[in-house]
Amino acid sequence: MKLPRDLKGVELAKLLKKYGYEITRQTGSHMRLTTTVKGEHHITIPNKPLKVGILNAILKDVANHLGKSKKEIIEELFK
């Protein structure tokens, strides 16, 4: 499955709530999300339309933390 090309940072933050991520702070144009599922983990997401490379890196980081493949994460979030 291809990554969406028109996803905004806020929309991704809402999708990641499925894995326990919550916005813990926002500084300028970036949001910091934190989860305590499988230990504490932080990611930073720009609050603007996401380029494919940035989205790919964020999903890879989330997948590594959760012990899943990036493909599994993509299928769970975007289907």
What stretches of 1-79 show up as alpha helix (H) in DSSP?
9-16, 52-66, 70-78
Q: What are phi and psi of 42, to 5 degrees?
A: -120, 140
The pLDDT value given to residue 54: 95
* pLDDT digits 0-9 by tens, 8-35: 999 999 999 999 999 999 989 999 999 9
What is the pLDDT confidence band of residue 2, given thresholds at 50, 70 and 90? confident
Cα 44 to Cα 30: distance, rounded to the nearest angstrom: 7
Q: What is the average pLDDT across 42-51?
A: 95
Residue ranges of E strands in the chain: 22-27, 30-35, 41-46
Percent of the chain topping pLDDT 90: 90
Q: What is the pTM of this model?
A: 0.91
- Domain annotation for the chain: domains and CATH numbers: 9-78 (3.30.920.30)
Cα 31 to Cα 67: distance, rounded to the nearest angstrom: 23
